[in-house]
Chain A
Amino acid sequence: MAKVVDRPQEKTALRVANQPVSRVDGIENVTGAAKFGADFSLPGMLWGAILRSPYAHARIRSIDYTKALEAPGVVSVATAADFDDDVVEPTSRPHNVFAGDFALFLGEAVAAVAAVTMEDAEAALELIEVDYEPLPHVLDPLAAMEPDAPVIRHGDGGEIDRTEMSFHSSVASSAEDLDESGNVSSQVQFSRGDIDAGFAEADVIEEGRFTAAMVHQTYLEPHAALADYSPSGDMKMWVTSQGQFYVRDTVARLLKLPAHKVIVQGTAIGGGFGGKMTLLAPIPAILSKKARKPVKVVWSRSEELVAANPAPASVIDVKIGAKSDGTLTALQGRVVMDTGAYPGSPMSTATMLLGSCYVFPNMELEGLEVLTNKVSVGAYRAPGAPNSAHAVENVMNWVAQKLGMDPVDFRLRNAIGEGDRWPNGQPLPNVGAVEVLEAIGNHEVWSTPLERGANGKPRGRGMAIGCWSGGAGGSAATIKLEADGSFSVLVGTINLTGNTTSIAQVAAEELRVPLEFVSVHLGDTNEAPFGPVAGGSQVTYTMSLSTAAAAADVLRQMKAVAAQRLGADADDIAFDDGKMWAHDDPERYVTYRRIADEAVGSANGPIIGTGHGKPARGNPGFAGTIADVEVDTETGLVTILNLVGVQDAGFAINPLSVKGQIQGGTIQGVGYALLEEIVYDEDGRVRNPGLLDYRLPTAADVPDVDAVIVEKHNPYGWRGTRIVGEPSIVPPGAAITSAISDALGIPLHNMPLTPERIVMALRDARTNGRPSA
């Protein structure tokens, strides 16, 4: 299945790692037994509901909730007044639980009510009297940069909180915070060589301005959280989040509680994709603290689409020059990223990624993060990278076409590799850009010419690559040897889409037992060792190392016990299949079960191992897409004929899971390319706050994705493992829009390419030779 390009010889045959393994918790999911955020309830629990700003920009003169508190069933009401000024970072969305002096987007939380029933809570919202002074608002990021644009204020300023973005990328952000004089909240610049000289020596130059829409992660499970503030002062919480420790730390800070008194149990999570960090949890926490009863809050889908933290819209200019032999000479780029009402967008990453796949001797990149009166943005699987790839990869294909070169060959000539530098100057380890490109070039779809369809509809082909740096944070795990010779692994990291299975595989591999003898448990924040946020593709990358370290600790203790029983030296102990022996005498063995039994009474005591650490460094993951499309030029409807997703996984611990990640990310890219867009009206109201008009691809809209795994050994990962989750979403938008452009013979610049945009672009091309999309 996997194309292995580079792997050191394994000393022993692999037992379960690198094997396709069904989810260990699959049965829980298919029977409805898995408990997600909204599935937890407690006796005496109250329901919380949230009042939201009806204005895109307003001063809040006063809030009076006296009548709401007197309403039937209502127990507590919370507003911004419940949080002390010294815990609220003005520029941090997660810390601004409720709008304070200003509401900065339509739908921003203003107050919340806890009541005996949901009906009571919702009814009470209408009794809260808020005195708003509507202010002029601005929705378009380019308009927001104009000198006379309304200024979106954030109190007295303060340092911009980039915590969430740091989960996703181990690459340092060099963005500078700007003062509050305008709506540009931060900017970044990267340069190399002499840009003018670079373009002067180019034989071919192509350029374009590309837009990408605001899209929503659309995890199918809306945010949900249950908080129970006990008389002893413990805040026990059940939260669907990608990072229970991050939730814990945020709630502890906001409510001024000691960390150990905030006990967060991460639940099964119905998708996150970067968007489910800690937006909701402080609300039930403050309501519960005030009510002294458990409070549950579950967002509706419309609240998700109006007030969560979607992925940013952007306007990206890219200009690329190349010599006639295909050598790149220059890259110029400018990213304007719409961060919504709070800073913290992936602008800096998106800007840097413009120059992340190829060697450009001359480069000038600029990024601007702009505030608007829309919901603030967050992370969505490789945040900002699909926007960048959309721009760069389309222009790369135009340059290849003008040069008369195969787009893969053109890219191979310039592909980035070990020792080359990213725009921030960071030298790269052994990335798999070349191997991914070769896998695309060798793929059957790429080498088979695209036939014209019998129906006469034009067809086109596009390809693109992209990459993601990924996170490489600290992590820890503990492993216990249980009485029957089985093992339990305790982790504090969320089981996002099956990484528990990969952790179990790592433990089983290192401990040399069948997978069935290992169970992985997610403990709450007091029980479990620290686990990284399940973002930045880092869980398997980091947890495989700490799990292996914990296994080594367990084995060291087990060997000591076994050595004593066998009368051998611990260094001479060999092990496999649940038994240990002195390596010269495999017939005389001691079972793990016996070791567990004897350990309890031994000097070692019960066997428990811990592993903790951090990968020596991150190592970016590359991915590529081939897309073949057919376009109905009368209606603009696009049919995807072939879709190939290639990705370098380093060492695929679970190829079934890796393949699933490639397929899922690629289809999310289809959403970016063709369907998804949060649309605002001129008042700043979301016009499509539901899943009917915010369109995810359905099973009927997408083809199968041929997922190709490339394995280029990563020296910093467990047995060569690389990050996996994010890279697959980066290139599909670029590849699909490029394929449509190829089919129609006109350049196209926007995502998503809705049927209407395609028809209008064709019409404009016919009438004035200039497409509008």
Chain B
Amino acid sequence: MDYPLQLTVNGVAVKRIVEPQVRLLDFLREDLGLTGAKEGCGTGDCGACTVLVDGDPHHSCLTLAVEAEGAAVTTVEGLVSDDKLNAVQSAFVSAGATQCGICTPGFVVMATAYLRDNPNPTDDELRMGVAGNLCRCTGYETIVSALHSVIDGKVERIEVSPEPQELVPEPEGE
């Protein structure tokens, strides 16, 4: 059975026909080509598929696409603004908080929402807040320190697609 689905994804209104067993994760990845959200477990235990639904972090693997009817969905692809990474993304790059990178999109989405709702957590609160997002590479230290740098307001947002620079001028008279 097919169902009409209307929602907003990263600010763009989307209308599609979907089957009800299609998960929001499948819909984003297969129908819309937004492959930033990852399936690490499919059971809500790793957080790699985290997207924002009406601003709140949800597992897109446990959400049927039809259940997102009318919602505003933000994926990792929607976090860049003004040609700059957001503060969490920037901090992840600078701190070396991404190794293999598979958990990174979900982690970045989760942490962005968490720090928006909890701007001044203690270290323990912060670690509990992101405990639903597993990372196998980093041991979490660089991730947590990246997030502390966001909390401390020490992050300069990184430009995406920076202008190329010139290495060395041609000598005079060339």
Q: Do A and B touch directly, given a CB cutoff of 8 Å in the complex?
A: yes
- Give A residues with C-beta under 8 Å from B: 20, 22-23, 25-36, 38-39, 41, 119, 217-222, 268-273, 298, 300-301, 485-486, 496-498, 513-514, 516-517, 577-579, 588-594, 656-657, 659-660, 663-668, 690-692, 696-702, 704-705
Q: In the complex the two chains form, what is the Cα distance from A266 to B30 in whole Å?
A: 21
Interface range on chain B: under 10, 10 to 19, 20 to 34, or 35 or more?
Answer: 35 or more
9 A/B residue pairs, CB under 8 Å, sorted by A? A30-B90, A32-B36, A32-B76, A221-B100, A271-B99, A591-B167, A666-B139, A691-B40, A704-B141
> B94 an interface residue at 8 Å Cβ cutoff?
yes
> B59 an interface residue at 8 Å Cβ cutoff?
no
A657 touches B96 (CB 8 A): yes
A691 touches B139 (CB 8 A): no
User: Could you say which of B43, B94, B108, B174 contacts A301, with CB atoms under 8 Å apart?
Assistant: B43
Q: In the complex the two chains form, what is the Cα distance from A439 to B149 in whole Å?
A: 29
Contacts of A705 in B (CB 8 A): 139, 141
Contacts of A270 in B (CB 8 A): 38, 40, 100-103
Tell whether A514 pairs with B138 under 8 Å between CB atoms, given A27-B93, A32-B76: no
Contacts of B89 in A (CB 8 A): 30-31
Q: In the complex the two chains form, what is the Cα distance from A298 to B102 in whole Å?
A: 15
A690 touches B171 (CB 8 A): no
B105 touches A32 (CB 8 A): yes
Main secondary structure of the interface of A (DSSP, over half): loop
Main secondary structure of the interface of B (DSSP, over half): loop
Which residue in chain A gives the minimum CB-CB distance to B162? A516
Contacts of A696 in B (CB 8 A): 134, 136
> B131 an interface residue at 8 Å Cβ cutoff?
yes
Contacts of A660 in B (CB 8 A): 96, 99, 137-138, 142
B96 touches A23 (CB 8 A): yes
A31 touches B36 (CB 8 A): yes
Tell whether A667 pairs with B48 under 8 Å between CB atoms, given A27-B160, A270-B100: no
Q: In the complex the two chains form, what is the Cα distance from A497 to B39 in whole Å?
A: 19
Q: In the complex the two chains form, what is the Cα distance from A702 to B124 in whole Å?
A: 11
Tell whether A301 pairs with B98 under 8 Å between CB atoms, given A31-B160, A517-B167, A699-B131: no
B100 touches A269 (CB 8 A): yes
A690 touches B139 (CB 8 A): no
A31 touches B80 (CB 8 A): yes
Which residue in chain B gives the minimum CB-CB distance to A26? B93
Contacts of A217 in B (CB 8 A): 136
Contacts of B103 in A (CB 8 A): 220, 270
A593 touches B170 (CB 8 A): yes
User: Could you say which of A38, A516, A691, A704 contacts B43, with CB atoms under 8 Å apart?
Assistant: A691
Contacts of B169 in A (CB 8 A): 591
Q: In the complex the two chains form, what is the Cα distance from A667 to B142 in whole Å?
A: 12
Q: 6 closest pairs, A vs B, by CB? A: A32-B36, A270-B102, A667-B139, A29-B101, A26-B93, A691-B45
Contacts of A577 in B (CB 8 A): 167-168
Q: In the complex the two chains form, what is the Cα distance from A271 to B34 in whole Å?
A: 21
> B143 an interface residue at 8 Å Cβ cutoff?
yes
A30 touches B167 (CB 8 A): no
Tell whether A220 pairs with B40 under 8 Å between CB atoms, given A32-B105, A594-B174, A702-B139: yes
> B77 an interface residue at 8 Å Cβ cutoff?
yes
B141 touches A663 (CB 8 A): yes
Q: In the complex the two chains form, what is the Cα distance from A664 to B134 in whole Å?
A: 12
User: Could you say which of B76, B143, B171, B174 contacts A699, with CB atoms under 8 Å apart?
Assistant: B143
Q: Which of B1-46 contact A (CB under 8 A)?
A: 21, 29-30, 34-43, 45-46
Q: Which of B41-83 contact A (CB under 8 A)?
A: 41-43, 45-46, 48, 75-77, 79-80
Contacts of B37 in A (CB 8 A): 32
- Could you tell me the distance in whole angstroms from the C-beta of B42 to the nearest C-beta in chain A? 6
Q: In the complex the two chains form, what is the Cα distance from A699 to B35 in whole Å?
A: 25
Contacts of A485 in B (CB 8 A): 167-168
Tell whether A692 pairs with B98 under 8 Å between CB atoms, given A221-B40, A663-B141, A698-B134: no
Which residue in chain B gives the minimum CB-CB distance to A218? B136
Contacts of B85 in A (CB 8 A): 27, 30-31
Which residue in chain A gives the minimum CB-CB distance to B96? A656
Which residue in chain A gives the minimum CB-CB distance to B137? A664
- Could you tell me the distance in whole angstroms from the C-beta of B25 to the nearest C-beta in chain A? 11
Which residue in chain A gives the minimum CB-CB distance to B145? A704
Contacts of A589 in B (CB 8 A): 171
- Could you tell me the distance in whole angstroms from the C-beta of B115 to the nearest C-beta in chain A? 14
A578 touches B101 (CB 8 A): no
- Could you tell me the distance in whole angstroms from the C-beta of A516 to the nearest C-beta in chain B? 7
A271 touches B100 (CB 8 A): yes
Which residue in chain B gives the minimum CB-CB distance to A39? B35
A29 touches B167 (CB 8 A): no
- Could you tell me the distance in whole angstroms from the C-beta of B59 to the nearest C-beta in chain A? 12
Tell whether A702 pairs with B140 under 8 Å between CB atoms, given A578-B167, A592-B167, A664-B99: yes
Contacts of A20 in B (CB 8 A): 96
Which residue in chain A gives the minimum CB-CB distance to B102? A270
Contacts of A588 in B (CB 8 A): 171
Which residue in chain B gives the minimum CB-CB distance to A698? B131
Which residue in chain A gives the minimum CB-CB distance to B75? A32
Q: Which of B30, B85, B127, B139 has the most CB of A within 10 A?
A: B139
Contacts of B113 in A (CB 8 A): none
Known A27-B85, A271-B100; further 14 A-B contacts with Cβ < 8 A: A26-B92, A26-B93, A33-B36, A35-B35, A220-B103, A220-B136, A497-B99, A579-B168, A594-B170, A660-B138, A667-B139, A698-B140, A699-B135, A699-B144
Q: In the complex the two chains form, what is the Cα distance from A273 to B102 in whole Å?
A: 14
Contacts of B128 in A (CB 8 A): 699-700
Contacts of B151 in A (CB 8 A): none
B138 touches A663 (CB 8 A): yes
- Could you tell me the distance in whole angstroms from the C-beta of A173 to the nearest C-beta in chain B? 28
A268 touches B99 (CB 8 A): no
Q: In the complex the two chains form, what is the Cα distance from A518 to B92 in whole Å?
A: 22
B100 touches A497 (CB 8 A): yes
Question: B101-138 CB contact bits vs A (8 Å, 1 = yes)?
Answer: 11111001000000000000000101110111111111
Which residue in chain A gives the minimum CB-CB distance to B86? A30
Q: Which of B35, B41, B137 has the most CB of A within 10 A?
A: B137
